Chain A
Amino acid sequence: MDKTIDEINRRIREGSARVVTADEMPAIVSELGEEGALKEVDVVTTGTFGAMCSSGAFLNFGHAEPPIKMERIWLNDVDAYGGLAAVDTYIGATNKSVTRAESYGGAHVIEDFIAGKAIELRAQSSGSDCYPRRNITTEIRLEDLNQAIMVNPRNAYQRYDGATNTSDDTLYTYMGTLLPHSGNVTFSGAGTLNPLCNDPALRLIGSGVPILLGGAPGMVVGEGTQHSSAGNFGTLMTTADMNDMSTDFLRAAYMYRYGPTLYMGVGVPLPVLDIEVVRRTAIRDEDIPVSIKDYGVPSRSRPLITQVSYADLKTGRIELNGEEVRTSSLSSYRKALQVARTLKQWIEEGQMTLCLPTRRLDPSKQVKPMRETRKVALVQEIMQRKVVTIKEDEEIPEAAKKLLKGETNHLPVLNEQGRLVGVVTTFDVAKAVAHPERKVRVKDVMTRNVITTRCDEPVDIAAQKLDHHRISALPVVDAQNQCIAILHASDLGKLFKPGGQGA
């Protein structure tokens, strides 16, 4: 016995619609059966609350006297887009303030507006006959704007990979702090409550569909950027009026050493039209797989470490290579529940009726990587092929001589088989000279934990290693750990020399 959207809306208006949150649906279906659940439930509400970087708002400030065509715009010193008409702008969530701590960004401007705070608007112009004014500085509040319309290019990811880190260093990423040697696992997403997980074929979620966004009634614009529903990575473009939003459902955040981001609450109500909807909304945390990827590998295709489910992740521990590793979320399940429950309340009170998409999203779309026409610079293009090395059993004065002769500060140290086992610097040699009684041979003073690179590694990654470890050279090794070259921090300058790349 299928239902029509009109029938469901009639029940909503009469106050007789049965609305449940998506986490309640599995139990209802197992108790009443699919037919019974279809008869009993009219609407399932979903919800998610987590970091959604791809968010921002269109703002219209009204005209100043004399008028100005704002070409460069700052809100609390956060750069806003100046390529729109005279007094319009788009403020993106992840832009950092140019003067405040880097933990303040566009997301914070948006939150401050919604919290009712005054924001400093600063703008510059080159001036025109119709817009003569060259600059303006003023303090504005949300209520002073003509429009403050949030339009988020990419919200509510259907699925998200979990993260761990097999490298030797702590990493600070958009997936939070990742401890070395797979010391923890982080994940995001609301699992059973996730809007798109409850409608993976995109029958109900599409353009024009009403939603809760940041606590305001809003709607789905259409597919989000990077929408890739063929691989279960669908996304939504969303919109709502900032004036109706609340900081209960929208929060600025800062990911250490990554930057500002915006935590958004997004909820979509799903009309229970037929058995297919019942079946989809009965999805449980156990049914939603999450791939745990290795963020220790700085590449687009990060290696898959293991596959688990939201149910596994929510226990707080999973097993990785025979060891128990703690898991924790970046998104808030409590807030996601609050989103779904608020949406349920709106519908029960008749404040929101439902509609089917005016334009459906493509369920077969697949995301493409960027087309790159210029090759990435590799270490082999700038490394020094002539490398002076030393054996670990040599005496310190020999190292000193080699450092002087090679005009270098770093000597890669090799064992009898010619493999790299350490590195000795001028500083190490100086220390050895200061304490000659204890340090006799190179192996007594060398650093054993050597950070290395390979000739086919992109220069940007090598530069990141130099920066991260505060060192100034990386031995270049081959697959057998033979030292074939060395990359000095100063070699990076070759990339910027006119006439192309050196060596």
Chain B
Amino acid sequence: MKLLVKLSHRSRPIIAEVVKDTGVLINVDRARSDAHEGEEALVDVPDEFCRLISEKMRGLGAEVSILEEGIRHDRDECVDCGSCISVCPKEVFSFNSEWELQVETKRCILCGRCVIACPHQALSNNEI
């Protein structure tokens, strides 16, 4: 499960603390620091620990939300060209046997490469 974690600039090392306390290993997919909006991390946690990790992080002052849909795919705009396939580092996109684009949004880490690569503006994401 992917979690979007928002931290303030002065926060403690929350991710490290949660790993230490719970013993659950967390993968940081992406992280961003912005002068105005603070720090934001996209982390991957095992599904069964999602609630535990979210609560712990919230307890330490972070805003946590579950990222249900990393990338939005507009079926009407898409022409199934496949321009998104080879630029995606997480292999979110593939064709089925009918050459129709399949999108596994759960694998998405919001890098945004596919959004730029799509000639038909059929892809959009929540910027991180």
A interface residues with partner B (beta carbon < 8 Å): 49-51, 103, 172, 176-177, 179, 184-186, 251, 253-256, 261, 263, 316, 326-335, 337
Contact = CB atoms under 8 A, between A and B. Distances in A.
A255 B119 contact: yes
A323 to B, nearest CB: 14
Interface string B89-125: 0000011001110000000000001001101110000
B114 to A, nearest CB: 9
A332 B117 CA distance: 14
Given A329-B83, A333-B99, 7 more contacts: A177-B87, A177-B116, A186-B86, A326-B86, A329-B85, A332-B81, A335-B80
Contacts of A253: 119-120
B117 A334 contact: no
Nearest to A335: B79
Contacts, number: 73
Nearest 6 interchain pairs by C-beta: A328-B86, A328-B85, A184-B86, A253-B119, A334-B99, A326-B86
B84 interface: yes
Contacts of A331: 81
Nearest to A325: B86
A251 B79 contact: yes
Contacts of B119: 51, 176, 253-255, 261, 263, 330
B116 A332 contact: no
A332 to B, nearest CB: 4
5 contacts: A51-B119, A254-B119, A255-B119, A263-B120, A316-B94
Contacts of B85: 316, 326, 328-329
Contacts of A327: 86
Contacts of B87: 176-177, 179, 184, 328
Contacts of A177: 83, 87, 113, 116-117
Contact of A328 (B79, B84, B100, B121): B84
Contacts of B83: 176-177, 186, 328-330
Q: Is the interface of B mostly helix, strand, loop or mixed?
A: loop
Contacts of B86: 179, 184-186, 316, 326-328
B70 interface: no
A374 B84 CA distance: 41
A103 B83 CA distance: 17
A49 B120 CA distance: 13
Q: Which of A331, A332, A337 has the most CB of B within 10 A?
A: A332
A337 B97 CA distance: 13
Contact of A251 (B84, B117, B120): B120
A256 B116 contact: yes
A40 B8 CA distance: 73
Contacts of B81: 50, 263, 329-332, 335
Given A184-B87, A186-B83, A326-B85, A254 B116 contact: no
Contact of A172 (B84, B98, B100, B116): B116
Q: Which of A50, A172, A184, A328 has the most CB of B within 10 A?
A: A328
Nearest to B94: A316
A316 B99 CA distance: 12
Contact of A332 (B80, B84, B94): B80
A116 B1 CA distance: 43
B121 A103 contact: yes
B82 to A, nearest CB: 4
Given A185-B86, A328-B86, A256 B80 contact: no
B27 to A, nearest CB: 22
B119 to A, nearest CB: 4
Contacts of A334: 79-80, 98-100
Nearest to A185: B86
Interface in B57-90: 79-87
A166 B84 CA distance: 20
B95 to A, nearest CB: 8
A256 B119 CA distance: 7
A103 B77 CA distance: 15
Contacts of B117: 176-177, 256
A490 to B, nearest CB: 31
Contacts of B100: 334
A501 B48 CA distance: 70
Nearest to B119: A253
A337 B99 contact: yes
